[in-house]
Structure 1
Amino acid sequence: MDVIVIGGGIVGVATAYQLRAAGHRVCVVERHATVAQGATYGQGGTVLPTPLDVWFGPTFMASRHTAKNGVISKTGFNGPARQFVKQLAALQDPEAFGRQYARLRPLIELSRETMADMEARFGLEYEQANGLLYLVRSAQEWEQTQPALGLLRQYEVPHHVLSPAECAAFEHSVPTDPAFAGGVLFDHERTANCPLFAKLVKQTLDTEGSVQFMFGCEVSAIRLEGQRAAVELAPRPGAAPRSREVDVIHADAVVVAGGYGSLALLERLGLRLPLHPLRVHNLVAPIAHEECAPHVAIVDSVKRIAISRMNHRLRIAGGAVLQSAAQIDKPLGEALTKEALALLGQATHDWIPGAARISAALPWEGVKLLSPDGLPVIGNVLHPRLFVNVGLGPAGWGLACGSGKLIADLITGGTPDVPADTLAALRADRFQ
């Protein structure tokens, strides 16, 4: 089949790879000049999410104080934004959290297997590093993490619960003063460079000549015609005047994997997904003192700030800002940007003091989509030939490899490698 993938971020590239592996002819349409230039460019290093850092559950937005939960809520919330927060708050109940994570876990494991296959097949090297140390500040926050620790035991996920002294003994950069509650070590979970991974996968597809990439092209509309589909391309900026004919690319199927930009395309077709845009930030800072730098990634499990080392620099990701969707296309404002970046700088100072030169750090801001039930939207919508792969959120970019495999299975007509209840929980019609 001929398949068009809208979006050249990690989700679009991973989907294109899986579609090509399934024998389809693929065209990726991306508005930027190359892959991994949007939200993918600023991805945190954590490859796959654990129960401690999924963006829902007992520790997510459990406090209204931004200094405690790591999410800044901009004033001026409208009804949809308040409703979104209310729906996510329902998953703070430990039983609801456990049920929802159980639905997500098969996608996590499928992603792990899919990535391992890709690495083995092509020998990809994208700054992978083993080891994640999740740290918790207060006794109250430690209590809030107990449902997540219960899920780790339930699913027999290899991990070690550490006292503050054991954390400091394992990771010399973590100070024991001021006191904190404890930590959880994952020996085998990884961090890696997501933009580099996306570019390497693109290179393998270029080498095989199996996938066409159309850069600098923006999709203005999707057409659904009988048993086929098509996309309309907007005129390129600065293009010479031309006839009123619209550039149209026809295909047997279309996959919408364009992140935040996907929402408007789907709304024009009559599908309004209740996904909420979330501004996230990161800092890439040079290492100030080698003896202070961590040898494993550090994650503030309540503020959801991840600090991962990549060669001679540290990537500090998090600093989320939640606001009305109507405001997301406008500049955030200097004060809020400073507040978000200050969260990242403070977390670095608290957990690995002296390790990073924050004054020389390069900031980044982008938009990711978060669903009101914490799960992505993956599957067929509106028409037999239209598919979506969006809303994977900030936790774990490796999920894109599993979601791409699901999409390829659905388009090919094969049986997806996840249970039926997981597949149903990922479908768009769950919101109806």
Structure 2
Amino acid sequence: MRVVVLGSGVIGVTSAWYLAQEGHEVVVIDRQPEPAMETSFANAGQISPGYSAPWAAPGVPLKAIRWMMQDLAPLRVAPRLDPVMWGWMARMLANCTHKAYARNKARMLRVAEYSRDCLIELRQEIGIEYDNRAQGLIQLFRSEQQMAASAEDIRILEDCGVRYESLNVDGIIQHEPALQHVHSKLVGGLRLPGDETGDCFLFTQRLAERCRELGVEFRFNTAIRQLQVEGDRVVGVDTDAGPVQGDACLVAMGSYSPELLSPLGIKAPIYPVKGFSLTIPIEDATCAPESTVMDETYKVAVSRLGNRIRVGGTAELTGFDLSTPASRRANVEFVVNDLFPGGGKPESVELWTGLRPMTPDGTPILGRTRYQGLYLNTGHGTLGWTMSMGSARYISDIISGRTPAIDTEGLSINRYN
């Protein structure tokens, strides 16, 4: 079968890998000059199945109001007349119940845990290196209230069989020695030993080279215009370089997926949520993180990627605006300096921003559509890196006519009908 993959981020490239492994002829199309140049370029670096959770959670509406009023706000909503944004927010708020949160988190954990296992298998198979570390993630709590609020997450982790450790401050420092300098700012943490870190850009670039060895064709600098439809079947895609035909088309275009799907009457509720990251060369390794910590107060992750520190976080609902105001840099910069002072070289900071393709319930959209030959692997939000391998293997199985290794319940776009 000839499969056309639309998008060459980590989702598109991992999908191409598994499809090529199945013997399909694969063509990957992207407007960028090489793989992983947009959302996959400089994310927080965390591969965090244990931390997978929807943003739509009980109490979030009130928390969001408090967050937006903080000096270093982890959330910003731009006042704009955007019915798509407000409609998406309304659907997200409708998921802020205990029942919906438990359901959505279980779905996300299902994909994320499977993805972590697929990634481990890939490393064993081809020995791919990407500044990876498998030393877990620690969710840091600065207040007793945050500690108490983690009880529901722990219950769901237990129900899903995910390993975790509740830590006091001494326990945190045992795993992250550099935090001994700021122990008075912490009250405890939740450690997820199965989580990992790694450079998503480096991984995607290197896996793309392996894909080429399997015969995958990459067409870069090629803008995707619209899908070609004959009756109830998608037969290819129109690009600025001409049409590309295929037996199947896989949409892996992140935040830009809804625009491509809308003319076909497919309403994918994905909205771009802008995030920021800093990459800082390590100056003193004893003051730098060993793996990944997530500051629950500011919703910022600090990760170790080789000889660099990656700091990622914050959320802006501002449409497709990719500007980088100084106020947003201040948010992520404060956290790394507050937790790991002296760890990085402040004069060598690289700032980046990207658009996370968020669904209102947090779960990605995977699987078939009502059009024959059209498949979706999109809407992973902040967890594209975390869920990439599992999502790719899942969709490859579906396209190949095989039964996926995990339950398909609630993963397709049909859950919104």
Q: Report the TM-score, using the length of structure 2 for normalisation.
A: 0.92
Query: Map of 1:143-182 to 2, 5 A cutoff?
Result: 143-174=148-179, 175-176=181-182, 178-182=184-188
Range moving further from structure 2, 394-403 or 252-261: 394-403
SS of residue matched to 1:307: strand
Q: In the alignment, what sits opposite 2:7?
A: 7
Q: 1:361 offset after TM fit, Å?
A: 0.7
Contact 1:318 1:344 in 2 (8 A): yes
Contact 1:49 1:396 in 2 (8 A): no
Distance between the aligned counterparts of 1:419 and 1:76, measured in 2? Answer: 39
The answer to whether 1:389 aligns with 2:393 is: no
Q: 1:78 offset after TM fit, Å?
A: 3.9
Mind listing any 5+ residue stretches in structure 1 that lack a counterpart? 236-246
Query: Map of 1:27-176 to 2, 5 A cutoff?
Result: 27-51=27-51, 54-58=54-58, 62-64=63-65, 65-66=67-68, 67=70, 70-76=74-80, 78-131=82-135, 132-174=137-179, 175-176=181-182
Contact 2:95 2:360 in 1 (8 A): no
Letter of the 2:413 counterpart? A
Query: Map of 1:1-400 to 2, 5 A cutoff?
Result: 1-51=1-51, 54-58=54-58, 62-64=63-65, 65-66=67-68, 67=70, 70-76=74-80, 78-131=82-135, 132-174=137-179, 175-176=181-182, 178-208=184-214, 210-226=215-231, 227=233, 229-235=235-241, 247-323=242-318, 325=319, 328=320, 330=321, 332=323, 337-395=325-383, 397-400=385-388
Distance between the aligned counterparts of 2:303 and 2:106, measured in 1? Answer: 27
SS of residue matched to 1:398: helix
Q: 1:251 to 1:189 in 2, by over 3 A?
A: same
Q: In the alignment, what sits opposite 1:243?
A: none
Contact 1:46 1:396 in 2 (8 A): no
Q: 1:228 to 1:107 in 2, by over 3 A?
A: same
Distance between the aligned counterparts of 1:420 and 1:233, measured in 2? Answer: 32
SS of residue matched to 2:316: strand
What is the aligned-residue identity percentage? 26
SS of residue matched to 2:382: coil
SS of residue matched to 1:294: coil
Range moving further from structure 2, 51-60 or 175-184: 51-60
Alignment deviations for residues 48-94 of structure 1 (CA, whole Å, 9 cap, x no partner)? 33246553434756231233762222233644433433432344433
Q: 1:228 to 1:184 in 2, by over 3 A?
A: closer
Q: 1:221 to 1:78 in 2, by over 3 A?
A: closer
Q: In the alignment, what sits opposite 1:240?
A: none
Q: 1:366 to 1:26 in 2, by over 3 A?
A: same
Q: 1:113 to 1:413 in 2, by over 3 A?
A: same
Distance between the aligned counterparts of 2:145 and 2:2, measured in 1? Answer: 54
Q: 1:141 offset after TM fit, Å?
A: 2.2
Distance between the aligned counterparts of 1:217 and 1:78, measured in 2? Answer: 29
Distance between the aligned counterparts of 1:42 and 1:57, measured in 2? Answer: 27
Contact 1:94 1:147 in 2 (8 A): no
Q: In the alignment, what sits opposite 1:242?
A: none
Distance between the aligned counterparts of 1:302 and 1:83, measured in 2? Answer: 27
Q: In the alignment, what sits opposite 1:238?
A: none
Letter of the 2:237 counterpart? V
Q: 1:402 offset after TM fit, Å?
A: 1.2
Alignment deviations for residues 211-241 of structure 1 (CA, whole Å, 9 cap, x no partner)? 1111111111110225551111115xxxxxx
SS of residue matched to 2:343: coil
Contact 1:72 1:340 in 2 (8 A): no
Alignment deviations for residues 292-342 of structure 1 (CA, whole Å, 9 cap, x no partner)? 11222111135331111112210101122123x3xx2x454x6xx222211
Contact 2:10 2:384 in 1 (8 A): no
SS of residue matched to 1:372: coil
Alignment deviations for residues 188-213 of structure 1 (CA, whole Å, 9 cap, x no partner)? 321011111111111112223x2111
Letter of the 1:192 counterpart? G
Q: Report the TM-score, using the length of structure 1 for normalisation.
A: 0.89
Q: 1:359 offset after TM fit, Å?
A: 4.1
Q: 1:87 to 1:389 in 2, by over 3 A?
A: same
Distance between the aligned counterparts of 1:284 and 1:37, measured in 2? Answer: 16
Distance between the aligned counterparts of 2:212 and 2:219, measured in 1? Answer: 12
SS of residue matched to 1:55: coil
Letter of the 1:42 counterpart? A
Q: 1:169 to 1:118 in 2, by over 3 A?
A: closer
Letter of the 1:152 counterpart? L
SS of residue matched to 1:97: helix
Q: 1:114 to 1:430 in 2, by over 3 A?
A: same
Range moving further from structure 2, 27-36 or 98-107: 98-107
Q: 1:264 offset after TM fit, Å?
A: 1.4
